[in-house]
């Protein structure tokens, strides 16, 4: 949002000229966004005064308005995660009075950026700002990749036009090339410039800039593919398109499917009327989400959600309240909001006695800040089911006195209401977990319980002591080993009100798989520090898998990870562990893998375990890989396609998947990669890594050579081949790095998805930034083939 301050005075003529030019730019951008005549967009373009709140004493009026690019308002609109009406942020609750509730709103950002807290002059104006911003954010996020790319390039052209005369000099062309992440030698840049400068004026304007744009965005690899199949006077007919979809994309396509694609994606009305697909229409189709690398059939909710809860991998967070490290980082309710919006289904609450009889949450014995327990529960209640309807587990790390435990129970009961599960579903004592479907919109409490659940159904339950009892504090959730040793002989007093809320997730100490099998009920679960869990995986993987067929297991990072770093979750998933908790506040490869794991099944936060991990007598062992249903040896070919090489793989006519191709695979390209360093002179030297994660036999990584000085449209010429033995547990990660010969490569973008969700053929791969958010214009173009080995 732009905070507008007073600018130097300019002449009336210059002001009129500037206004006319600005309006022209706005009109172009509004058209690119498809929001012509939209009153909410016009409201943002007009702007207005808002009170910006930083602290109780710092409240200042700032003029906010949408800039002419229609994407910037002091901040990039694409960076907005959510706009919240009212005093919902910690800052507004702390620094404003209740009477301004209706005039307040907050803007939350993706990543670690602080909220922007604002107060409008009236409740109506606040609602208008929220409504308008939400519409613009939604519109920008739903733009096609083609629209996003055009808007981005147009914005770069505007930035390069330093004197705002709607012309580009040769030096401005050089500046533009650097803005779009490409370094071109002077001779080649001059050649392109002269080719476009038809008027010989020494400047590019109007159609000359359009020609320059066309030259830049021309993709030779698309020409080659399109040319192979466009047999109808230079266009693709429905028959040609079916041919392409069957041979290259390995899709079951009919003439009807092809006609629908032409009707939907062909921009030329004349071609559409003749049922023909132009090259532009073909490219627009290839950029559509359904034609990209993630299989659209797996994108939505497609798995059976009626299995018992413990048959699913569950997206889980550790120290959810922390925004940064676990020594002195801030605690915030915003951290819960961010985790839940990312699809997290198990959040952790470290609860301690607070002042005024109000329990607080923070990382004990450290300098992390504190938040009220009730505020965390309110935030969780509001955002729990925004991304997913399926149950949320509240993992309580309870260090409170009996009195404040009772307060915790009252807060959860009053705030969560009927959504809180306080007794088993159905009649009588259950023998198994309910399903995610049965628990939709519900909260489960994980924590200590005074007695077995069975006792609640026994006759003697009526005579049970309703006061407080003592229980050995064997809380495995306590990360710091030293603290654990100090506390090992202490007794934990537990309030009955809180104890009774623990139904399906009772925390118990782990004494071995045999003890668990003989003595623990299905709802009694243990938490394992990552080191202990990994040792069990290495020594008794099959026993761990069988344990997790009946019970839930939670894994958490070692207390020595004071920087809130993460561990690799894959080996724990391979052992059937459901709640593999990571520090969601830390951006790293491990979080990328977690996001990729839960990318599918409607981003519900629940992924059904393979059948061979749900059978009580399973023989599956990810380490030894004995023969069984899990062994489905596949060969994955990933190709980065060079321009002018022809289609990457050629199969004999009528060949089925599994047939070997006639020729050696070809290779790929990338588009509009972001700069790693925002300096004008900094251009990336990108390389591509393809990584496979899964059982130890499947783990592999291969990389291309770097391309020098080109982040705009680099192309490679290399082939990758991987053997994948257990595809149901494998994940594939596409990573682009900026090559550096003197230090570590820098992260540019990545995309991770389950192996079985790959689409074959020519596919665009979207790229995510370090925060896991989509890079709007960037992408990778690959050819993928999976065949039986």
Q: What is the pLDDT averaged over residues 627-646?
A: 74
Name the band, by pLDDT with cuts 50, 70 and 90, for residue 640.
low
Q: What is the pLDDT averaged over residues 758-772?
A: 94
Determine the pLDDT at residue 161. Answer: 79
* Measured distance CA(681)–CA(621) in Å, rounded: 52
Determine the pLDDT at residue 364. Answer: 83
Q: What is the pLDDT averaged over residues 668-684?
A: 81
Name the band, by pLDDT with cuts 50, 70 and 90, for residue 214.
confident
Helix, strand, or coil here: 281? helix
Residue 1 has pLDDT above 60, yes or no: no
Q: What is the pLDDT averaged over residues 430-446?
A: 97
SS (H, E, C) 426-474: CCCCCCCCCCCCCCCCCEEEEECCCCCHHHHHCHHHHHCCCCEEEEECC
CB-based contacts of 486: which residues, under 8 Å, 6+ apart?
Answer: none
Q: What is the pLDDT averaged over residues 307-327?
A: 93
- Which of 364-373, 596-605, 673-682 comes out lowest in average pLDDT? 673-682
Name the band, by pLDDT with cuts 50, 70 and 90, for residue 275.
very high
Tokens of 288: 């559509």
* Measured distance CA(667)–CA(179) in Å, rounded: 27
Q: Residue 430 in contact with residue 463, Cβ under 8 Å?
A: no
Q: Given 151, 318, 547, 637, which residue is catalytic?
A: 318
* Cα–Cα distances in angstroms (integers) from residue 131 to residues 101, 138, 338, in the given order: 17, 11, 21
Determine the pLDDT at residue 9. Answer: 59
Tokens of 782: 């690959």
Q: Does residue 306 carry a catalytic annotation?
A: no
Q: How high is the mean pLDDT of the chain?
A: 86
pLDDT digits (tens, 9 = 90+) for 506-528: 999 999 999 999 999 999 999 99
Determine the pLDDT at residue 463. Answer: 42
Q: What is the pLDDT averaged over residues 448-471?
A: 65
Q: Given 151, 287, 363, 764, which residue is catalytic?
A: 363
Residue 185 has pLDDT above 80, yes or no: no
* Measured distance CA(621)–CA(695) in Å, rounded: 9
Pairing verdict, β 167-168 and 48-53: unpaired
Determine the pLDDT at residue 156. Answer: 78
Determine the pLDDT at residue 681. Answer: 64
Q: What is the pLDDT averaged over residues 750-778?
A: 93
What percent of the chain lies above the pLDDT cut of 90? 61
Tokens of 468: 């407080």
Determine the pLDDT at residue 145. Answer: 67
Residue 420 DSSP symbol = B
* Measured distance CA(406)–CA(57) in Å, rounded: 36
Determine the pLDDT at residue 642. Answer: 40
What percent of the chain lies above the pLDDT cut of 70? 88
Helix, strand, or coil here: 49? strand
Name the band, by pLDDT with cuts 50, 70 and 90, for residue 500.
very high
Name the band, by pLDDT with cuts 50, 70 and 90, for residue 654.
very low
Max avg pLDDT among 38-52, 69-83, 466-480, 600-614 = 600-614
* Measured distance CA(532)–CA(558) in Å, rounded: 10
Residue 63 has pLDDT above 60, yes or no: yes
Q: Does residue 363 carry a catalytic annotation?
A: yes
Name the band, by pLDDT with cuts 50, 70 and 90, for residue 159.
confident
Q: Which residue has the higher pLDDT, 400 or 3?
A: 400
| Packed helices 207-217 and 145-160: angle between N→C axes, nearest 10 degrees | 130
Determine the pLDDT at residue 12. Answer: 67
Residue 456 has pLDDT above 70, yes or no: yes
Q: What is the pLDDT averaged over residues 403-420?
A: 97
pLDDT digits (tens, 9 = 90+) for 474-492: 344 444 444 544 444 466 7
Determine the pLDDT at residue 745. Answer: 93
Q: What is the pLDDT averaged over residues 363-386?
A: 92
Give the annotated binding-site residues: 319, 348, 350, 397, 446, 448, 527, 554, 683, 685, 709, 738, 740
Give the annotated binding-site residues for substrate: 446, 448, 527, 554
Bridge partners of 446? Answer: 395, 505
Structural domains present in the chain: 2-142 (2.30.29.30), 147-217 (1.10.238.10), 220-291 (1.10.238.10), 310-449+487-613 (3.20.20.190), 634-788 (2.60.40.150)
Bridge partners of 728? Answer: none
Q: Which long-range contacts (CB under 8 A, 24 or more apart) does 53-59 make?
A: 53/91, 53/92, 53/95, 53/96, 53/117, 53/118, 53/119, 54/91, 54/95, 54/117, 55/95, 56/94, 56/95, 59/95, 59/119
Determine the pLDDT at residue 652. Answer: 35
Q: What is the pLDDT averaged over residues 205-226?
A: 82
Give the annotated binding-site residues for Ca(2+): 319, 348, 350, 397, 683, 685, 709, 738, 740
Determine the pLDDT at residue 478. Answer: 45
In 103-172, DSSP assigns E strands to 104-109, 116-119, 167-168
Determine the pLDDT at residue 361. Answer: 95
Q: What is the pLDDT averaged over residues 333-357?
A: 95
Determine the pLDDT at residue 142. Answer: 78
Name the band, by pLDDT with cuts 50, 70 and 90, for residue 722.
very high
Q: What is the pLDDT averaged over residues 76-95?
A: 88
Q: How many CA atoms does the CB half-sphere of 141 hold within 13 Å?
A: 14
């Amino acid at each position: 949002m732009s905070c507008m301050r007073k600018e130097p005075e300019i002449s009336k003529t210059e002001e009129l000229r500037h206004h006319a030019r600005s309006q022209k730019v706005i009109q172009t951008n509004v058209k690119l966004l498809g929001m012509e005549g939209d009153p909410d967009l016009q409201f943002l373009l007009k702007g207005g005064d808002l009170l910006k709140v930083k602290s109780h004493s710092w409240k200042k009026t700032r003029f906010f308005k949408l800039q002419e690019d229609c994407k910037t308002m002091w901040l990039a609109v694409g960076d907005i995660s959510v706009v919240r009406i009212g005093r919902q942020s910690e800052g507004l609750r702390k620094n404003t009075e209740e009477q301004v509730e209706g005039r307040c709103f907050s803007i939350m950002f993706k990543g670690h950026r602080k909220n922007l807290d604002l107060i409008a002059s009236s409740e109506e104006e606040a609602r208008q700002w929220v409504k308008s911003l939400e519409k613009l954010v939604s519109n920008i996020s739903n733009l096609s990749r083609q629209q996003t790319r055009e808007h981005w390039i147009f914005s770069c052209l505007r930035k390069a036009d330093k004197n705002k005369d709607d012309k580009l000099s040769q030096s401005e062309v050089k500046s533009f090339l650097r803005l779009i992440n490409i370094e071109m030698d002077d001779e080649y840049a001059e050649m392109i410039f002269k080719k476009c400068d038809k008027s010989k004026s020494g400047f590019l304007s109007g159609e000359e800039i359009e020609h320059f744009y066309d030259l830049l965005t021309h993709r030779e690899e698309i020409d080659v593919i399109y040319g192979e199949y466009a047999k109808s006077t230079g266009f693709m007919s429905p028959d040609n398109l079916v041919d392409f979809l069957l041979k290259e994309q390995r899709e079951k396509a009919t003439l009807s499917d092809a006609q629908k694609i032409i009707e939907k994606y062909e921009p030329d009305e004349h071609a559409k009327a003749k049922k023909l697909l132009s090259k532009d229409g073909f490219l627009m189709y290839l950029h559509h989400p359904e034609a990209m690398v993630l299989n659209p059939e797996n994108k939505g909710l497609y798995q059976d959600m009626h299995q018992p809860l413990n048959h699913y991998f569950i997206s889980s967070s550790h120290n959810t309240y922390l925004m940064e490290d676990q020594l002195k980082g801030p605690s915030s309710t915003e951290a819960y909001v961010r985790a839940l919006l990312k699809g997290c289904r198990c959040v952790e609450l470290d609860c301690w006695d607070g002042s005024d009889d109000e329990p607080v949450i923070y990382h004990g014995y450290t300098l992390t800040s504190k938040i009220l327990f009730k505020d965390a529960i309110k935030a969780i209640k509001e955002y729990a089911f925004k991304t997913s309807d399926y149950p949320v587990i509240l993992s309580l790390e309870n260090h409170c006195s009996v009195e404040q435990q009772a307060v915790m129970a009252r807060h959860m009961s009053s705030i969560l209401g009927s959504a809180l599960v306080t007794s088993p579903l159905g009649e009588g004592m259950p023998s198994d977990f309910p399903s995610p479907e049965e628990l939709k919109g519900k909260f489960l409490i994980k924590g200590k319980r005074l007695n077995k659940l069975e006792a609640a159904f026994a006759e003697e339950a009526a005579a049970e002591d309703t006061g407080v009892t003592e229980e050995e504090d064997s809380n495995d959730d306590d990360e710091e080993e030293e603290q654990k040793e100090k506390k090992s002989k202490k007794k934990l007093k537990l309030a009955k009100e809180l104890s009774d809320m623990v139904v399906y997730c009772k925390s118990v100490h782990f004494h071995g798989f045999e003890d668990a099998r003989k003595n623990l009920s299905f709802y009694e679960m243990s938490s394992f520090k990552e080191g202990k869990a990994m040792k069990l995986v290495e020594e008794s993987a099959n026993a761990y898998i069988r344990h997790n067929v009946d019970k839930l297991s939670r894994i958490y990072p070692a207390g020595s990870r004071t920087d809130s770093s993460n561990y690799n979750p894959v080996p724990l998933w391979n052992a059937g562990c459901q709640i593999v908790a990571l520090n969601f506040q830390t951006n790293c490869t491990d979080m990328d893998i977690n996001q990729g794991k839960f990318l599918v099944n409607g981003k519900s936060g629940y992924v059904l375990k393979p059948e061979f991990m749900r059978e009580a007598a399973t023989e599956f062992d990810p380490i030894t890989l004995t023969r069984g249903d899990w062994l489905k040896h596949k060969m994955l070919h990933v190709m980065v396609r060079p321009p002018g090489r022809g289609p990457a793989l050629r199969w004999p006519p009528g060949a089925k998947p599994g047939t070997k191709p006639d020729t050696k695979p070809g290779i790929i390209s990338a588009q509009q990669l972001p700069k790693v360093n925002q300096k004008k002179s900094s251009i990336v030297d990108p390389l591509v890594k393809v990584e496979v994660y899964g059982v130890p036999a499947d783990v592999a990584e291969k990389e291309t050579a770097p391309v020098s000085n080109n982040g705009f449209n680099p192309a490679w010429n290399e082939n990758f081949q991987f053997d994948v033995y257990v595809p149901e547990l494998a994940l594939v990660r596409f990573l682009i790095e900026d090559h550096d010969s003197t230090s570590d490569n820098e992260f540019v973008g990545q995309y991770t998805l389950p192996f079985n969700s790959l689409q074959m053929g020519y596919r665009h791969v979207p790229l995510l930034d370090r925060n896991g958010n989509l890079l709007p214009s960037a992408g990778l173009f690959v050819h993928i083939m999976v065949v039986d080995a």
